[in-house]
């Protein structure tokens, strides 16, 4: 689901290159999804099937899931700001849509693994996690490597609530119904085919703005830190997660670039200026509710259990993203 989105099209391409047959289920509502779908169809005209549909349509979801051996549930309403403006829509897509996927899988005689992409937003603003300001970035004052999976859930914003509810449904369907599931609580994913905007996909948004000569608005002081993860590395984790879902249903993993790929907003702008060779105008705006001063994924659990680690350094990943944006300037801008 969401197979024509940024992560979805990269995952679908990886599967198709392995000679798998893939069904992309997407309503094409997000900007760039039609372009991503055309790209997939050009590359894989034979083994790719397309279903234009919405996860809010339970019957359509059930019909497609019944044909699947693995379900990657990526479809979602992804912007905090949109969730604040229309929480009912956010709930219908993220919670009801996920429940439709789970129920569809539960009705299959041999239920397929269901892998769900959750978010670090389920931890809220990380109340109780000590932080300090150090130059151009915030850091953990207690020296921890990152946020682990045992961090208390603390939903903040309708988006956090809906993704958090879906996250817990996916986990509980493994416990109550024995469904083979796996949850990935993702940090900031970036890379080719990401049509980022101010509300979602901030790394791509910054890069697109930099190349177009547009100013960038920083909410807060710009020294917030995130661990960014190149999309190819996430795809590898998702593929490894299939075996995890079968072997130990209900597992949850924090997935991100880890401490080595942590970067503040202003540091990323500085890097983009070096790569793009142009000055980026910066504007400040008030903090957004629930914004985390620092979020870095503790990726030790997924490393131990799945043997996974990020392979793409942040500088190399950002260079690849900038190159893709330049090659696709007409579609992106």
State the catalytic residues.
159
Query: In DSSP terms, which residues pair with 71 in a beta bridge?
Result: 114
Tell me whether strands 71-73 and 114-119 are parallel, antiparallel or unpaired.
parallel
* 216: CB partners within 8 A, 6+ apart: 205, 206, 209, 210, 269, 280, 281, 282, 283
Q: Which of 152, 157, 167, 120 is nearest to 295 (CA)?
A: 120
Coil, strand or helix: which one is 196? coil
Which residues face 137 on adjacent strands? 134
Alpha helices, DSSP H, located in the chain: 6-17, 33-43, 58-65, 80-85, 87-91, 97-106, 158-177, 202-212, 231-247, 265-276, 300-306, 314-327, 329-332
The answer to whether residues 215 and 280 touch, using CB atoms and an 8 Å cutoff, is: yes
User: Under a CB-based contact definition with an 8 Å cutoff, are residues 75 and 95 in contact?
Assistant: no
Residue 243 phi, psi (nearest 5): -65, -35
The three-class DSSP label of residue 310 is coil
SS3 155: coil
Distance CA 72, CA 93 (A): 15
Contact between 147 and 295 (Cβ < 8 Å): yes
Q: Give the CA radius of gyration of the chain.
A: 19
- Close Cβ partners of 231 (under 8 Å, ≥ 6 residues apart): 6, 7, 10, 189, 190, 191, 192, 193, 194
Q: How many CA atoms lie within 13 A of 18 on its CB side?
A: 11
């Amino acid at each position: 689901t969401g197979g024509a989105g940024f992560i979805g099209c990269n995952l679908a391409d990886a599967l198709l290159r392995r000679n798998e047959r893939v069904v992309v289920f997407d309503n094409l509502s997000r900007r760039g999804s039609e372009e991503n779908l055309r790209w997939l169809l050009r590359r894989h005209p034979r083994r790719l099937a397309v279903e234009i549909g919405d996860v809010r349509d339970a019957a359509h979801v059930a019909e497609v899931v019944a044909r699947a051996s693995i379900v990657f549930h990526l479809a979602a309403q992804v912007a905090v700001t949109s969730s604040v403006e229309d929480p009912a829509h956010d709930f219908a897509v993220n919670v009801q849509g996920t429940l439709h996927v789970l129920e569809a899988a539960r009705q299959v005689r041999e239920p397929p693994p269901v892998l769900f992409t959750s978010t670090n937003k389920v931890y809220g603003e990380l109340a109780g996690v000590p932080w300090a300001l150090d130059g151009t970035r915030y850091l953990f004052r207690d020296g921890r490597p990152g946020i682990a999976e045992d961090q208390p859930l603390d939903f903040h914003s309708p988006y956090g609530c809906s993704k958090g509810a879906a996250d817990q449904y996916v986990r509980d369907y493994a416990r109550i119904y024995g469904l083979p599931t796996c949850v990935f609580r993702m940090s900031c994913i970036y890379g080719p085919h990401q049509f980022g905007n101010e509300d979602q996909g901030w790394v791509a948004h910054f890069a697109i703005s930099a190349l177009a000569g547009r100013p960038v608005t920083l909410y807060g002081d710009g020294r917030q830190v995130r661990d960014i993860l190149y999309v190819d590395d996430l795809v590898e984790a998702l593929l490894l997660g299939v075996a995890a879902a079968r072997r130990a249903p209900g597992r949850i993993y924090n997935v991100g670039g880890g401490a080595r790929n942590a970067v503040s907003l202003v540091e990323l702008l500085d890097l983009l200026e070096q790569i793009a060779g142009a000055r980026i105008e910066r504007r400040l705006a008030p903090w957004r509710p629930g914004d985390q001063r620092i979020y870095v994924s503790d990726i030790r659990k997924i490393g131990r259990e799945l043997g996974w680690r990020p392979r793409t350094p942040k500088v190399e990943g950002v260079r690849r993203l900038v190159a893709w944006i330049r090659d696709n300037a007409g579609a992106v801008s």
